[in-house]
Structure 1
Amino acid sequence: MKIRIQFAKYGKMIYIGHLDIMRYFQKALRRADVDLAYTQGYNPHPILSFAAPLGVGITSCGEYADLEVNSSGSSKEMLARLNEVMVPGMEIIDYRVLPDDAKNAMSCVAAADYCLTFREKHTPLDTFGMTSAAYLKGFEEFLQQESIVIIKETKKGTREMDIRPLIYDFCLQEKSETGDGPAIFLQVSTGSTDNLKPELVLKAYHEQTGLSWNPGDISICRLETYTNTAVSAPDCIVAPQFVPLREMGNVL
């Protein structure tokens, strides 16, 4: 039986790297007495995979993991059991069963929503002496360009990359929920093929407009992770249809 869980990561847990999060979940699932299915062979381990690794220092309420179990209680029961063993900063939000033929989350990730906000005393007014309205107006004009070319560093070196086609949607607010400067909502391409980090978009804006760039000025939260359910057709451009990964499963 294939299960997909959605979880949040916040507080001190944002400083725990992806590999340690994987090890943490293996232990937490056993503590919750989940009837895990294991791989075969000399060194069996739980069948567990994650959708899209989250960078260190980023909060999220849209993380996903897939696991296989031999048996399961109801979604409500399993949520309670899992959250009972979670440490502060980790919370299981959703628990659903997947169809037998469902692809794993990692292979079908297509996009993600992010919220970027400025840390206290690091707002555009504090750093650049400009109002939030002026900063956001410039950012909106920046995103209206047909092409935004950056130099991206990869394992094989550096290459030019047009990131504009990878920015699917955006929304700007002069005040964040905490009132500390603007909030920038971005929906960008995510996955193994075209993965765009939201901070690269903001960095490109700063570099193009001559503003200094310090990644420590901003806080990033991943809000949701999506798959694309649009069916491609030969010689036809099909608009993506993004669906949250949890919607691929059903509540038990």
Structure 2
Amino acid sequence: MREVRLKFSKTGQAKYISHLDTNRVFSRAFSRAKINLWFTEGFNPRPYMSFSLPLSLGVESLCENVDIRITDDMSDDELKKRMNDALPVGIRILDVYENFMDCEQICYSDYVYKFEFDDNDLALQKIKSVLEADQIMALKKGKQGRKRVFKETDIKQFIVKYNISIRDEDIVLNIRLFAGVKKNLNPTLLFDTIIRLIDMDFEWKSIARINLLTEDLKQYR
């Protein structure tokens, strides 16, 4: 048995596959690819799979990871080929390797946001004003007893750095956010907050996670 990490992308319509369903997609793909996984022990054995950092629904990614333990004597290249033949459109294995980092080392995540408005110039100025403010107050869902309520939270503290400009027909925001088990900002919450604060309807948008980084800014792998 050996433990390996599969780095994969999740793009196009696959961004609408939830984290739970992504787990099921991989389980079925391993079965179709005839890859024998190590099963956990106990009353309800299940194939060992560990995803590094769950991805928000509707967000694309070029840097997802799932760790598995295989009992087959199979090369990394063969494993990659079999899985890519078995996975649905939009999910692709990019790399397979051993000797990988622990997910607790993830500290930052780089995203690319693309917006399109009727008036991109006006929207750009408004988004800049939001990002440059001392506070960015988001509305997070919470509970008060049995009631679901919205609580205001300052998310400015989760933004490390950013760059925003107009390119062709889109406003493009490159932004680094805190991520991981200690401090984490949902990229969808940031998008929803920006749209609410600028009070403008968008024509089109996309969000993509392009990189995961450690505290010392090394690429997580």
TM tier, shorter chain?
Answer: 0.7 to 0.9
Matched, 1:187 2:162: no
Q: CA deviation at 1:155?
A: 4.8
The residue matched to 1:80 in structure 2 has which SS?
Answer: helix
Q: 1:155 to 1:189 in 2, by over 3 A?
A: farther
Matched, 1:243 2:218: yes
> TM-score scaled by structure 2?
0.83
Q: 2:127 aligns with which of 134, 139, 142?
A: 139
CA deviations on 1:148-177 (whole Å, 9 max, x unpaired) are: 2333223564433221121112122311xx
**Unmatched segments (≥5 aa) in structure 2:** none
Q: 1:224 aligns with which of 188, 205, 211?
A: 211
The residue matched to 1:243 in structure 2 has which SS?
Answer: coil
What percent identity do the matched residue pairs reach?
26
Matched, 1:151 2:139: yes
Structure-1 residue corresponding to 2:164 = 172
53-62 or 199-208: bigger deviation: 199-208
Q: 1:242 to 1:76 in 2, by over 3 A?
A: same
Q: 1:159 to 1:140 in 2, by over 3 A?
A: same
Q: 1:13 to 1:186 in 2, by over 3 A?
A: same
Quote the RMSD (CA, aligned, Å): 2.5
The residue matched to 1:194 in structure 2 has which SS?
Answer: coil
The CA distance in 1 between the partners of 2:205 and 2:153, in whole Å, is: 23
Structure number with higher strand proportion: 2
Q: CA deviation at 1:22?
A: 0.4
**Unmatched segments (≥5 aa) in structure 1:** 229-239, 247-252
> TM-score scaled by structure 1?
0.74
Q: CA deviation at 1:46?
A: 1.0
The alignment of Structure 1 onto Structure 2 pairs a total of residues equal to 216
Q: 1:207 to 1:28 in 2, by over 3 A?
A: closer
Q: Following superposition of structure 1 onto structure 2, how do residues 73-222 of structure 1 map, counting pairs within 5 Å?
A: 73-98=74-99, 102-103=101-102, 105=103, 107-118=104-115, 123-124=116-117, 126=118, 130=119, 132-155=120-143, 157-175=149-167, 179-209=168-198, 211-212=199-200, 217-222=204-209
